[in-house]
Structures are given as C-alpha cells and as structure tokens.
C-alpha cells in the first residue's frame, strides 16, 4: 500500500524521446503546396519586372510580304493598285518612349504585388503554424492522459494482488474485493480508450503536416510562451490593408500616365519592290515617328478613378473593423487565459488535498479500518482532479496558441 501511495504522488512521467513542435511545423511548412505556390508567384513577379523592361527596349522583327497579281487577256486586278505584285524582305525596329516616372510606376506595381503575395504567404504560414500547433497540443494532452491512465492501471493491478490476498485472509470480504476489481477493469478500458484517442489524433497531426506515417510516438511538451505584443500596425494582418492602399494609389498613377501622349519611333531596312522597273535597285530604308495624344474618351479616366475611390472606402471599412475585432479578441483571450490559470491553481490545491486523503486512507486500509469503497472514492477523486488539470493545461496552451497567432 505504501508503494501505491508513493507512485500516486509522483508527477506523470513522459517519455523524453520523440519529436517536438518545431519538427512538425517545419515539416508542414516544407510540404505545403500553398506556400510553394506563393513562392512561385513571387518569382513570376520578378520575371514580370523583366518583361516590362524588355517591352520598352527596341523591338526588332523580320517581315516578308510577297505576292503576284497577273493580268491575263486584259482580265485581272487594276495594275495601278497592285503594281502587278510585290516582293519585300524587311527588318523593322520599333521603340516606344515613356517617361521615367511612368516606367517606375509600372515597376512599383510589380513590387507592391510581390509584397502583397509575400504578406499573404506569411499569413498562410502563420495559419499553418496555428493549425499544426493546435493539433499538436491535442496529441500532447492525449499522451499525458494515456501515460497517466497506464500508470494508474499498473498500480491498481499490483494492488489487486495484495487485496486478493487480504480478502483470502478475511481482512476484507469478497464484495469489497469485487468492487475494487471492477474499478480495475474500468481503468483498463480507460487506458485502451486513451490509447485509441492518442493514435487517432497523432494520425491527424501527421496528415496535417504531410507526413506519410501511420505509427505514433511520444512528443515533447509544446512549452508555449506568450510572445511580446507588437504594434498592431506592424502586424502582417494590418500590412495587408496598407498594401491595398498603396496598390490603389499606384493604380491611379498608372491611369494618369495612360493618358499621357505616346511617342513611337520606327525604322526599317531591306528590299521592297513591285519588280515593275529596275527591281535590283529597290534596296533601301525608311524611318519615322508616330505620336498619339488622347483628347476625349467619354470620361473613362474619371470613371476609373471613381471606381478606385469606392474600393478605397471599402478598404477603410474593413481596416477599421479589423482594429476593433483585434482589440476585442485579444482582450477576450487574455481574460480566458487568466481565468484558466486561476482554475489550474485551484485544481493543484485540490490535488494536494487528495494526496493527503489517499495517504490517510492508505494507512487505514492496511489495518482493515476503512472500507475499500472509501479508498476507491479517494483514488477516483484524485484521478478526476488530475484529468481536470490536464484538460485545463491543454486549454491554457490552446489559448496561448490563439493569442500568439495574432502576434
């Protein structure tokens, strides 16, 4: 009986070996196709910047236009129009001139887009960490419960043999012993149920991380700590609103630049002949410039700018709502955390009281001065307190995980 009391007072022993939280988070991050997709979009955006630069470099093309329009017995196309035919082989070059600020605005559009994708990727990665961490906490809670139920089962199995001997010596009657044995069988079921739950939740954790493995193993304590609260305006969630504002300003700038005069310069060289007269002399060159000056387009520019103004008002509304929700949610989570930690302190106090009760009842049980049912009640009280402690410890970790998500 003293051995039972001593082991009950020991803390739950967890296996020291096994993977930790960062192992699963890193595996999930490296396996995520969504994060790889965002990375690919950023790389594609860098190529887009190179495409813009290439677009405004001289564009050189080779063109050849060859045809023959015969006139047979006076029937055929008007020779004044067709010249009887044409043979041309030209190399043409064209370059569009834009202002430096216009070109910079186009580059800025790509940069803003890449920053927005990078920020969205950071949010997705944070979502992934939160999801994996939440499941990891569930698995850890299952493991604590499983280890505890196994320890209690081992102790009850040892005590069952002792009580069986005491019953045979008429220290306790058969009914009391059977009551204890039923409690032992119930604990066996609890241990099996805990094992099934642990394996199922562990499999879900592997699935979330992209780990192809149906086995389960011990894991380390997540040991989550509250992170330092940053300025909300520097968070990745608020940055999305800031980037949207920059994107709208850039769009307005591009609209204004699109109404600036456009100047193209072109030149060609090669052979261009109707073969009507001295075709061997029709090698030459030409060059020129074209200018487009927008005058009136039905007030499309104003309508486009109005559309951006509407989008900006919507962005502002979402931003203001986010700030209100952020403050309210953090305050609520901190309140839950404080209440949970307070409850954990109360449960620890109850566990200490339950330990003392088991110690007293254990001494009485050895002398036959207490009923086995009373001792079982004391053990069950201790079990309930430990399970409640584990449940609230898990709740505390989940709350910290949610708070850290917003940081």
Q: Pick the closest to residue 396 from 339, 350, 352 (CA basis).
A: 339
What is the secondary structure of 269-306 as a DSSP string? Answer: EEEEE-SSS-GGG-EEEEEEEEEE----SSSHHHHHHH
Q: Tokens 């992934």, residue? A: 128
User: Residue 14's pLDDT is what?
Assistant: 41
Say which residues have a Cβ less than 8 Å from residue 370's Cβ, sequence separation at least 6: 361, 364
| Inter-axis angle of helices 174-209 and 100-168, nearest 10 | 160
> Residue 210: what pLDDT?
92
| pLDDT for 366 | 65
- The pLDDT, as a whole number, for residue 117 is 94
- pLDDT given at position 75: 85
Pairwise CA distance, residues 377 & 298, whole Å: 87
Q: Count CB atoms within 10 A of the CB of residue 139.
A: 24
- At residue 22, the pLDDT reads 93
pLDDT under 70: residue ranges of the chain = 1-17, 230, 362, 365-368
């Amino acid at each position: 009986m003293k051995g039972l009391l001593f082991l009950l007072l020991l803390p739950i022993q967890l296996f020291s070996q096994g993977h930790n939280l960062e192992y699963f988070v890193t595996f999930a991050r490296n396996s995520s196709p969504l994060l790889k997709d965002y990375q690919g979009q950023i790389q594609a955006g860098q190529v887009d910047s190179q495409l813009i630069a290439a677009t405004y470099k001289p564009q050189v093309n080779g063109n050849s236009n060859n045809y023959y329009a015969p006139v047979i017995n006076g029937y055929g196309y008007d020779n004044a129009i067709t010249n009887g035919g044409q043979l041309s082989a030209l190399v043409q070059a064209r370059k569009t001139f834009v202002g430096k600020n216009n070109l910079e605005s186009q580059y800025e559009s790509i940069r803003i887009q890449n920053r927005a994708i990078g920020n969205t990727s950071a949010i997705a990665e944070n979502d992934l960490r939160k999801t994996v961490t939440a499941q990891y906490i569930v698995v850890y809670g299952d493991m604590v419960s499983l280890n505890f139920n196994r320890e209690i089962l081992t102790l009850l199995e040892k005590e069952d043999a002792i009580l069986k001997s005491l019953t045979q010596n008429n220290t306790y009657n058969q009914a009391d012993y059977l009551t204890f044995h039923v409690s032992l069988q119930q604990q066996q079921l609890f241990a099996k149920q805990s094992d099934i739950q642990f394996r199922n939740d562990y499999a879900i954790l592997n699935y979330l991380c992209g780990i192809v493995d149906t086995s389960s193993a011990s894991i380390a304590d997540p040991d989550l700590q509250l992170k330092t609260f940053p300025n909300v305006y520097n968070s990745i969630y608020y940055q999305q609103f800031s980037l949207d504002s920059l994107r709208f300003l850039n769009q307005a700038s591009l609209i204004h630049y699109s109404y600036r005069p456009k100047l193209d310069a072109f030149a060609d060289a090669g052979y261009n002949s109707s073969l009507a007269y001295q075709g061997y002399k029709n090698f030459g060159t030409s060059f020129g410039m074209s200018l487009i000056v927008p005058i009136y387009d039905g007030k499309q520019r104003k309508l486009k700018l109005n559309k951006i103004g509407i989008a900006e008002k919507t962005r502002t509304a979402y931003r203001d709502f986010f700030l209100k929700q952020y403050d309210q949610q953090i305050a609520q989570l901190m309140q839950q955390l404080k209440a949970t930690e307070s409850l954990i302190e109360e449960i620890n106090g109850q566990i200490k009281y339950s330990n003392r009760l088991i110690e007293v009842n254990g001494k009485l049980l050895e002398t036959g001065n207490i009923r086995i049912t009373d001792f079982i009640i004391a053990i069950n009280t201790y079990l309930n307190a430990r399970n409640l402690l584990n449940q609230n410890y898990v709740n505390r970790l989940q709350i910290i995980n949610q708070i850290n998500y917003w940081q």
